[in-house]
């Protein structure tokens, strides 16, 4: 069982590293002020980077709590996602771009560290995600990196090619 967990851990770490490299490569050359998403607010490239940093940090906090035998979440239910997401994005709108990138990099490093050090016995257990849903460590990483790559970076790249 330990060998299987270690293989899956290495895969998750590789996914984290690949996603981080691809995000930096895709977003850093873009005009940080360019609007790339529109919903209730206009999301610039820098806002998306800030959003990714926020959620990667929240995922790292959930992993840290789980490793310590506790639970952590930042919203009480999935239905309150936007109540948290909007204010978190708004807070970062005025930050210097380097601070936004620094938070993104730091949160990714924290997430990677938690995956790297997660006890083998906890790998397949059920944990609480920051948006108040339960699942495994491995699934959390896959969800978070899909969120980063598909839900944001791929859409941004499509929008900037038009």
For the segment 78-104, the average pLDDT, to the nearest whole number, is 88
Residue 143 clears pLDDT 70, i.e. is over it? yes
Mean predicted lDDT score pLDDT of the chain: 92
Q: List the chain domain ranges.
A: 2-152
For the segment 71-80, the average pLDDT, to the nearest whole number, is 84
Pairing of strands 42-44, 127-128: unpaired
Write out pLDDT tens, residues 17-69: 999 999 999 999 999 999 887 777 788 999 999 999 999 999 999 999 999 99
Q: What's the predicted TM-score (pTM) here?
A: 0.92
The structure tokens listed for 134 are 């339960």
What distances in angstroms separate CA 30 from CA 98, 102, 145, 148, 153, one per listed residue?
14, 17, 20, 16, 11
Domain 2-152 falls in which CATH fold? 1.20.120
Query: Which pLDDT score, from 0 to 100, does residue 162 have?
Result: 63
* Cα angle for residues 9, 120, 142 (degrees, 5° grid): 35
Name the helix (H) or strand (E) containing 38.
strand 35-38
CA atoms within 13 A on the CB side of 110: 19
Query: Which pLDDT score, from 0 to 100, does residue 89 have?
Result: 83
Name the helix (H) or strand (E) containing 11.
helix 2-27
Write out pLDDT tens, residues 116-132: 999 999 999 999 999 98
Residue 1 clears pLDDT 80, i.e. is over it? no
For the segment 86-93, the average pLDDT, to the nearest whole number, is 86
């Amino acid at each position: 069982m330990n060998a299987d967990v270690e293989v899956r851990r290495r895969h998750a770490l590789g996914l984290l590293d690949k996603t981080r490299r691809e995000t930096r490569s895709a977003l850093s050359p873009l005009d940080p002020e360019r609007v790339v998403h529109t919903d209730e607010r206009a999301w610039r490239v820098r806002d998306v980077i800030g959003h990714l940093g926020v959620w990667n940090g929240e995922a790292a906090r959930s992993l840290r709590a789980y490793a310590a035998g506790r639970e952590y979440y930042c919203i009480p239910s999935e239905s309150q996602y936007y109540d948290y997401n909007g204010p978190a994005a708004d807070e970062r709108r005025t930050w210097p771009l380097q601070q936004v990138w620094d938070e993104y990099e730091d949160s990714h490093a924290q997430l990677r560290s938690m995956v790297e050090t997660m006890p083998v016995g906890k790998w397949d257990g059920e944990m609480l995600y920051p948006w108040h849903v339960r699942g495994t460590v491995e699934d959390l990483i896959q969800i978070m990196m899909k969120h980063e790559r598909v839900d944001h970076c791929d859409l941004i790249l499509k929008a900037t090619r038009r």
